[in-house]
Amino acid sequence: MRPVAPNLVIGLALTGLVGAMALLGAFWTPYDPLAMNFASRLAPPSWSYWLGTDEFGRDQLSRLMLGASASVKISILTVILAISSGTIIGIVSGFLRGWPDRIIMSLNDALLAFPGLLFALGLLAVLGANENGIILSLGLVYMSSVVRVVRGTVLSLREREFVEASYVMGNSLSFTMRRHILPNCIAPLTVLATSMCGWTLLAESALSFLGLGVAPPMPTWGNMLAGSRSFLDQAVWLVIFPGLTISLALLGINLLGDALRDRLDPRMRRRVG
Amino acid sequence: MSNPLLEIRDVTLGIGRTGPKIVKGANLAIAPGEIVGIVGESGSGKTMLGRAVLGLSPAPISMTAGEIYFKGAAYSGMSEPEMRALRGAGVTMVFQEPMTSLNPAMRIGRQLEEGLELHGNIGRKERKARMLDMLRRVGIADGERALAAYPHEFSGGMRQRIMIASAMLMRPALLVADEPTTALDAVTQRDVMDLLVDLTREFGTAVILISHDLPMVARYCSRIVVMQTGEIVEMGETAELLGAPKHDYTRKLLASLPMRASARALPETRPIVSVEKLKVDFAARSGLFGRGGVKHAVRDVSLDIRPGEVLAVVGGSGSGKTTLARVIAGLTGHQGGHVLFNGHGIRPGSAGYDDYRRNCQMVFQDPFSSLDPRMKVGALIAEGLQALHDVPSSEHAARVEKALESVALNASFASRFPHELSGGQRQRVAIARALIRRPSFVIADEAVSALDVTVRAQILKLLADLQSQFGFACLFITHDLSVVEQIADRVVVMHEGRIVEEGSRDEILDRPRHDYTRRLLSAIPVLDTTPAGGVELRWRTELGQGAKAFAD
């Protein structure tokens, strides 16, 4: 047994913390995150309000916890949508080649060339600024990079001798794809998926910041950060804690992604003696 | 030796001061103008010894004991500027990979000139004259054009000639050539070596030729040094060392040279594979919009393979031999003619397609890329059974174990990943995978080219044994005629997409008719065993007529 990599431990700890916070936040918070209490508005961190309160006197810890469940749900669903649709399109494109590939890739490149956030904004205007709208539009934006990565991997894999060996054995195209091509796409996809989790968290924050995300009073990390900017000089904790949460969550996810990639690759598991 | 040019005295190379030793106590003296060969397999330390002679041991490796003297001066006493002056003008090197040892972003002229500028005060005109003269000597007629060209514009053989020119421009006293021709095909290999030897003889340059190819070394070197796991195990005059080897390892190396097996008589039967007037074209694109040129990879090739027969297809790179194999394996389409397997077409949907897929298997050249890196050996081999529905999955494990046993690997290998195996073991796994279905026809595409000499001999023997045990027919694709000698019944020689000669193995090897075949043959030796347990090498001449034309 080889020693456990530090990035796996730290990554697991950080993502575990965020996950636990999101899970707990969905059922229980120390205070009602939506209840206003003007008596204690803009209170600094203290024993009763660990992370202070906002301009309406709402407990920031409670809001961060509820916001975690919203943000985590959005980023996970977005990544699942982008990876699954992108993988299917990428594999089809890489395997068929010829004109289907050319059409798919031209459309995909057009998508890629468009600034992602701008495109998501446009889609949100059509789909409506709510959770489902954000997931759909961000999923579509990020799908194009998944398509690129998967298609490239498939193109190089299909020329490898073990894929040819599979044909010579009489295996069908779909079997070869499931058995040899897909598993070998996992490593690049894990890396992409984890960094995409990060992008989604950021993009969701940015969209909320612009007022196009989840509508207040429902908190997300992004709209908490956005709302706090007018109180920067009076209540710096309102910026620090959501910002810190986002950064730590991103760090954890990225470390976990690195560690997972190493773990999932059999070549990294045991070395030739 | 009274006055050696280079003397290696008790040299030990190690990783760090205390780490493992790469070379252990090597002693070797080289006289001016002498050509000495160092042979050994990968990991024997021969390359590191060569690097040490240049004073260029790569980072963690250093000389932990002993001394190297060049014209009597000790390396340890030289400053870095003195060492630099020694390299280039005194000792220089030609590497294995001409593609990576020439800078792809620099014109040939710049790269050649660099050395001349560094060593010695020569005027611009004089430099150019010297470069043109040297290029002419290495067989590049249009020197002006070559100087203005980039490395990628030349073939592998040409690039290696340029490397030699660049090394010899300094007129060094000693040239270290590390596997200088390994990346080239047999005929080019011989041309380049001839050139290297002629040129160094003319300038009186001594050569240390490092290679795993014993016959090649024997052809050009007056003395041979045999290395095994960091030690010099035997050293001697070429003929003496080959004729009466003293060390076990030398004997093992000699025994792994391909000897001709006795010819077999095969019954006249209906062919299992028959190829008729096969034509394969590739669209050769040029430029951005590709004005569709066509490359004819295979032209009008017809051949039959009978059940149980081993047919070798021989040719240089670009001869179309691999394309032919891929068409028969169903991996590449064809534009004309047809391929029949047991009398039926091989396209999906044709009457005998199931029979064809079941019975036609392939072993690929590169055992590092022909096994899926994410699957364990057991699963890889079992895959051959899964596509057959008549073997119940409960029997798979037992069949896999049997298949592993037949390629001399024990059952514990089933739970390993390909990256945990050596090249030879991987190729055994690839063979087990191809044979688990008991196919009646196997295609081996350069199946042993990527392996070390002794491993190559083992795998060839394994293939030959399995072939006689299971009786499958085999199409053996190779550029190496010495492999043919060992296992083929019949030989087809391909050149530029066509079959130029075809016949039984003994006919082709002893009475070649076509010029191209003769050129191929002149690159490999005829081996005669000596009473002392060694071998004697004889070389066929390229121009010779008939069987008994040998060079002295």
What string of H, E and C letters represents the secondary structure of B107-137?
CHHHHHHHHHHHCCCCCHHHHHHHHHHHHHH
Q: For residue B398, what are the CA distances in angstroms to B55, B361, B394, B549?
A: 55, 21, 8, 54
| Candidate from A161, A168, A270 with C-beta closest to B366 | A161
Q: CB distance A160–B361 less than 8 Å?
A: no
Can you name the residues that pair with B278 across neighbouring β-strands?
A: B301
CB A164 within 8 A of CB B325: no
**Chain A partners of B366 at a C-beta cutoff of 8 Å?**
161
Q: How far apart are CA B114 and CA B133, in angstroms?
A: 16
Closest CA to B165 of B191, B192, B189, B187: B192
Maximum Cα–Cα distance across chain A: 77
Residue A166, classified by CB atoms within 10 Å of its CB into exposed (0-12), middle (13-18) or buried (19+), is buried
All residues at 6 or more sequence positions from B164 whose CB lies less than 8 Å from its CB, including other chains: B94, B138, B180, B192, B195, B196, B199
| Candidate from A166, A170, A184 with C-beta closest to B374 | A184
E strand or H helix at B138, and its extent?
none
Q: CB distance A169–B357 less than 8 Å?
A: yes
Given CB atoms, is A97 within the 8 Å cutoff of chain B? no
Q: How far apart are CA A202 and CA A191, in angstroms?
A: 17
Ranges in chain B annotated CATH 3.40.50.300: 6-255, 273-511
Query: Chain B interface residues facing chain A, Cβ-Cβ under 8 Å?
Result: 329-331, 354, 357-358, 360-362, 364-366, 369-374, 383-384, 386-387, 417, 419-421, 430, 433
Q: How far apart are CA B185 and CA B155, in angstroms?
A: 12
CATH code for A6-269? Answer: 1.10.3720.10
Q: What is the pLDDT averaged over residues A94-108?
A: 87
Residue A39, classified by CB atoms within 10 Å of its CB into exposed (0-12), middle (13-18) or buried (19+), is exposed
| Candidate from B329, B365, B373 with C-beta closest to A168 | B329
> How does B157-175 read in b/e, with b if 16+ C-beta sit within 10 Å?
bbbbbbbbbbbbbbebbbb
CA nearest to A263 within chain B: B374
Min Cα separation A162/chain B (Å): 4
What pLDDT, on a 0 to 100 scale, did the predictor assign at position B99?
65
Q: How far apart are CA B550 and CA B544, in angstroms?
A: 7
Residue from A160, A163, A168, A261 whose CB has the most chain B CBs within 10 Å, to mutate: A168
**Chain A partners of B362 at a C-beta cutoff of 8 Å?**
164-165, 168
What pLDDT, on a 0 to 100 scale, did the predictor assign at position B548?
42
Min Cα separation B502/chain A (Å): 27
**Chain B partners of A165 at a C-beta cutoff of 8 Å?**
362, 364, 370, 430, 433
E strand or H helix at B485, and its extent?
helix B481-487
Q: What are phi and psi of B221, to 5 degrees?
A: -105, 145
CB A261 within 8 A of CB A17: no
Q: CB distance B357–A162 less than 8 Å?
A: no
Q: CB distance A272–B420 less than 8 Å?
A: yes
- Would you place residue A256 in the very low, low, confident or very high pLDDT band (cuts 50, 70, 90)? confident
Long-range CB contacts for residues B78-83, cutoff 8 Å, separation at least 24: B83/B55
CATH code for B273-511? Answer: 3.40.50.300
Closest CA to B37 of B296, B253, B226, B300: B226
CB A14 within 8 A of CB A21: no
Decide which of 3.30.300.130, 3.90.380.10, 3.40.50.300, 3.90.950.10 is the CATH code for B6-255.
3.40.50.300
Number of residues in chain A: 273
CA nearest to B357 within chain A: A170
CB atoms within 10 A of CB A191: 16
Q: Which of residues 138-167 of A touch B (CB under 8 A)?
A: 160-162, 164-167
**Chain B partners of A160 at a C-beta cutoff of 8 Å?**
369
CB A188 within 8 A of CB A124: no
All residues at 6 or more sequence positions from B520 whose CB lies less than 8 Å from its CB, including other chains: B186, B187, B314, B316, B481, B493
Q: How far apart are CA A125 and CA A102, in angstroms?
A: 30
What pLDDT, on a 0 to 100 scale, did the predictor assign at position A225?
81
Tokens for B477, please give them: 């694709």
Q: How far apart are CA A96 and CA A99, in angstroms?
A: 8
Q: CB distance A165–B433 less than 8 Å?
A: yes
A215 has a pLDDT exceeding 80: no
Min Cα separation B109/chain A (Å): 36
A99 has a pLDDT exceeding 50: yes
Cis peptide before A183 (omega within 30 of 0): no
Q: How far apart are CA B304 and CA B552, in angstroms?
A: 38
Q: CA angle, B145 as apex, B139 and B150 as ends, to 5°?
A: 95
**Chain B partners of A166 at a C-beta cutoff of 8 Å?**
383
Starting at the edge strand found earlier in the chain, the sheet holding B273-284 runs B293-305, B273-284, B336-341, B344-345
Given CB atoms, is A115 within the 8 Å cutoff of chain B? no
User: For chain A, what are the domain ranges?
Assistant: 6-269
Give residue A272's identity as a one-letter amino acid code: V
Given CB atoms, is A190 within the 8 Å cutoff of chain B? no
Give residue A142's identity as a one-letter amino acid code: Y
Q: How far apart are CA B328 and CA B341, in angstroms?
A: 9
Q: How far apart are CA B117 and CA B147, in angstroms?
A: 16
What pLDDT, on a 0 to 100 scale, did the predictor assign at position B56?
84
Min Cα separation B214/chain A (Å): 29
Q: CB distance B420–A270 less than 8 Å?
A: yes
| Candidate from A165, A166, A267 with C-beta closest to B419 | A267
H-state helical runs in chain A: 6-27, 60-96, 98-113, 116-127, 131-158, 161-168, 173-176, 182-209, 221-227, 237-264, 266-269
Min Cα separation B428/chain A (Å): 15
CA nearest to B419 within chain A: A267
Q: CB distance A266–B331 less than 8 Å?
A: no
- Would you place residue A129 in the very low, low, confident or very high pLDDT band (cuts 50, 70, 90)? confident
Q: How far apart are CA A221 and CA A206, in angstroms?
A: 10
Q: What is the ipTM of this complex?
A: 0.70
**This model's pTM is above 0.95:** no
Residue from A156, A158, A159, A169 whose CB has the most chain B CBs within 10 Å, to mutate: A169
Tokens for A263, please give them: 């773990």
Q: What are phi and psi of A165, to 5 degrees?
A: -60, -35
Q: What are phi and psi of B29, to 5 degrees?
A: -120, 140
Chains A & B: contacts with CB separation below 8 Å: 63
Q: CB distance A160–B369 less than 8 Å?
A: yes
Q: CB distance A165–B330 less than 8 Å?
A: no
Q: CB distance A170–B419 less than 8 Å?
A: no
Query: Which residues of chain B fall short of a pLDDT of 70?
Result: 1, 98-99, 183, 284-293, 542-552
Q: How far apart are CA B385 and CA B358, in angstroms?
A: 10
Q: Which of residues 207-266 of A touch B (CB under 8 A)?
A: 266
CA nearest to B360 within chain A: A168
Q: For residue A149, what are the CA distances in angstroms to A111, A135, B101, B253, B526?
A: 14, 21, 32, 47, 53
CA nearest to A162 within chain B: B370
Q: CA angle, B66 as apex, B61 and B70 as ends, to 5°?
A: 95
Q: CB distance A161–B369 less than 8 Å?
A: yes
Tokens for B201, please give them: 């003889």
Tokens for B324, please give them: 């032919």
Tokens for B407, please give them: 């390629």
How far is C-alpha B411 from the geometric centre of its chain's CA atoms? 31
What pLDDT, on a 0 to 100 scale, did the predictor assign at position B304?
92
Tokens for A11, please give them: 């990554």
Q: How far apart are CA B308 and CA B306, in angstroms?
A: 6
Q: What is the pLDDT of residues B479-502, one digit of tens each?
A: 888 788 888 999 999 988 899 999
Residue from B366, B376, B419 whose CB has the most chain A CBs within 10 Å, to mutate: B419
